[in-house]
Amino acid sequence: MRYIVRAALLLLPVLMLTLAGCGSSSSGNADPFNPGGTIGGTDTGAAPYTLTVIPAKTAALVNEEMIVTATLRDANSRPVADQTVNFSIAAGPATAVIASAKTDSNGVALAFIRAGATAVTTNVIVQGASTVSGKSVVGYGSFQVSPADVNLNSARLSLATSSSAVSPNQELLITATARDGSNNPVSNLPVSFRIAAGPATMLTASSVTDSNGQATAIVKAGNPSAVANVIVEATTTVNTDQIVANVPFQVVPTANSTVSYRLTMTPSKQVVDNNEEFYVTAFLKDSGGTPVPGKTVNFSVATGEASVITAAATTGSSGECFARIRALNPASTSAVILQASATIDTTTVTALAPVQITTQPLSASIIKMTLVSDKASVGVNSDVILTASVTDLQSPPKPVQNKEVSFKVLAGPGNMVDFSGNVLAQGVATLASTDSIGNAVCRLRSGTVNSSSSIIVQATTTVNDSLVTAYTTIEVVRQNSYVINFLTSKSPTDPDGTLNTLTATLPADAAGLFTFKQLVPFQALDNNGVPLPNLDVSIEINNTGRNLDTQIQLIPPLPGLPVTYPGANPLIVTVRTDDHGMGIFTCNVSLEAPGPGGFNAESIIYQATATVDGITLRSYGGFIASLTQEKAAATTP
């Protein structure tokens, strides 16, 4: 067995001693930075606190990594918990990868040290320092670094974590990197992972190194009541030689929050082809299992060759949200680790999910399908146009024509609409065929929701006996704002339909008042297009052209009474909307006949107001009434 294996086997007994809070005393070893003192303490007398620093190995090779254990005790040798220990390299070629950690209930804090390059065997001094109750305490530990020997070190394994400290129940990414004696990555190497110490569970027990020599795993932290250390161990075998690597991290409870949160993430497929689209579903819940809606979840690729199409999404009423992911085109089968994160009341929670990307022979026809919507977000009961594009990527790329594509809502408040305009039941698919440019188009209608939510749609087709799938997500946005729409017709002179013109021509001998009767419907809606029924809306005359001969009358539905101007002040009636949010009233405008050959006109602006949930709605409408009177016939002498 090689030297590195023997050194690795020394690790576990040392760790077991230190994690038990009974670290070996380093008294008797001269402290080069405190003449007359000892390694493990800065004072030869009865110091109030001592810090013992012990590297896991007494000797290491260049670039080799190890755990350094620091144990903090008081004058009575009792462990001191929840204190920060800062690690640094006092002398020698090494780097503190994890340079700060808290002590657990056994007074133990773990650092992660990487030996540096050296041409000759060199001593490394690791320093640990802490401040307890205003008193500083320092401890030292040492090991030797020797130059790499290709014959003795044909392969090595190193470990890294995505974070040195996590909250309880959170997931963490572990990356193992295998390299040969020339520092080249070693691919296709099986690596197994396990928890060597501490409250945690491996969610991924084994993996295989990719072309970069990396194998990834996911570990889930436990739920300790106090700070706890965790050690993850990775093992592989090269030429019958077993190689072991370790890395520590800490589980740190959230002290300021009485509610904890959990974020989980699940991919739609565990194995995908290169260039294939898929999606992930994230669920955010509190410690009692209650969904947490209205929170932003950010998605990213922790490792691997993939791109995130949906970088952020908002959790719906069930605490779920979706993100679209596209696998890239790796040179060989490889793993992708996806990460989701959310922050609630300063607490950040994360989730990880692994996906395997497979490759296809270059001679094969590679079919790609994308699915897009004409709107990234819509209100409730709104229509969206979906377009699926099917392309054969074999050089030169070309559209795939006349292929039937199936569209289906997988999750969220939405329904497919067929070509006859029928709204299909939830989960029922509609079909469309690709045209000459490889596009198939269909329609989707969002449903009614009480809070913002997401719809995820799947498109599938079969080409050359292979199933091709694409996904898209649409946000359904519900907001607390409202509107009153006057349902007036439009004309070329009034493209918005807000100020229609009513005209009449009177005979030359007409006299007195002429009345225009305008029926005015309106509808009250929230900003998502949902009608507001049983809403009292006040209608009043806001302004007129103020001709002295004008008379205006507002007439509400029965049993309401009309009001007349001039006379009533203010000129207001109340109309209650029906089950469809609709209301209607009549506005009568009477103008005096202008006389033969004359012209008379009046403008009327009416205002609608209502209050919903403390929010005041206000909208305006109106029309112009104009009279033209014919000229008197010419008289003959």
Summarize pLDDT for 334-344 with one digit per residue, the tens.
678 888 888 88
Give me 212's structure tokens: 């970069």
Q: Torsions phi, psi of 18, nearest 5?
A: -70, -40
Given this chain, do its domains 364-478 and 482-629 carry the same CATH topology?
yes
Residue 249 has phi, psi (to 5 degrees) of: -150, 170
- Give the pLDDT band of residue 527 (cuts 50, 70, 90): low
Residue range 406-453, pLDDT digits in tens: 999 988 889 999 888 889 988 899 999 999 899 999 999 888 776 667
What is the C-alpha separation between 83 and 88, in angstroms, rounded? 16
pLDDT beyond 50 at 307: yes
Mapping DSSP onto H, E and C, the string for 29-48 reads CECCCCCCCECCECCCCCCC
- Strand, coil or helix: what is 9? helix
> Which of 107-116, 253-262, 433-442, 457-466 comes out lowest in average pLDDT?
253-262
Per-residue pLDDT for 568 more than 70?
no
Length of the chain: 637
- List strand residue ranges (DSSP E) for 509-581, in order: 513-526, 536-544, 551-555, 563-565, 572-576
Per-residue pLDDT of 610-622, as tens digits, reads 988 777 788 888 8
Predicted model pTM: 0.47
Q: Side chain identity at 37, as an amino acid letter?
A: G
Q: What are phi and psi of 7, to 5 degrees?
A: -65, -40
Architecture label for domain 1-153: Sandwich (2.60)
Instruction: Report the pLDDT value the prediction gives residue 441, as an integer from 0 to 100.
Output: 93
Task: Tell me which of 394 and 218 has the higher pLDDT.
Answer: 218
Q: Indicate if the pLDDT at residue 116 is higher than 70.
A: yes
Instruction: Work out the average pLDDT over 101-108.
Output: 88
Q: Which of 3-7, 158-162, 397-401, 457-461 has the lowest mean pLDDT?
A: 3-7
pLDDT at residue 96 tops 50? yes
Mean pLDDT within 320-342: 79
CATH no. for 364-478: 2.60.40.10
Instruction: For the chain, report the end-to-end CA distance as a whole number of angstroms.
Output: 138
DSSP string, 247-280: EEEEE---TT-S--EEEEEEES-SEEETT-EEEE
Q: Which CATH superfamily is domain 482-629 in?
A: Immunoglobulins (2.60.40.10)
Q: Look up residue 196 and give its amino acid.
A: A
Give the count of beta carbons closer than 10 Å to the beta carbon of residue 123: 12
pLDDT at 331: 63
Write the secondary structure of 91-156 as one string of H (helix), E (strand) and C (coil): ECCEEEEECEEECCCCCEEEEEEEECCCCCCEEEEEEEEEEECCEEEEEEEEEEEECCCCCCCCEE
**Euclidean distance between CA atoms 496 and 202, whole angstroms:** 63
* Residue 188, pLDDT score: 84
Per domain, the residue ranges of the chain are: 1-153, 364-478, 482-629
Burial string for 29-39 (b: 16+ CB within 10 Å, else e) reads: eebeeeeebbb
The per-residue pLDDT for range 39-58, each reduced to its tens digit, is 444 444 456 888 889 898 88
Cα(475)–Cα(52) distance, integer angstroms: 56
Strand duo 347-358 + 334-344: pairing: antiparallel
Cβ neighbours around 109 below 10 Å, total? 31
Mean pLDDT of 292-308: 86
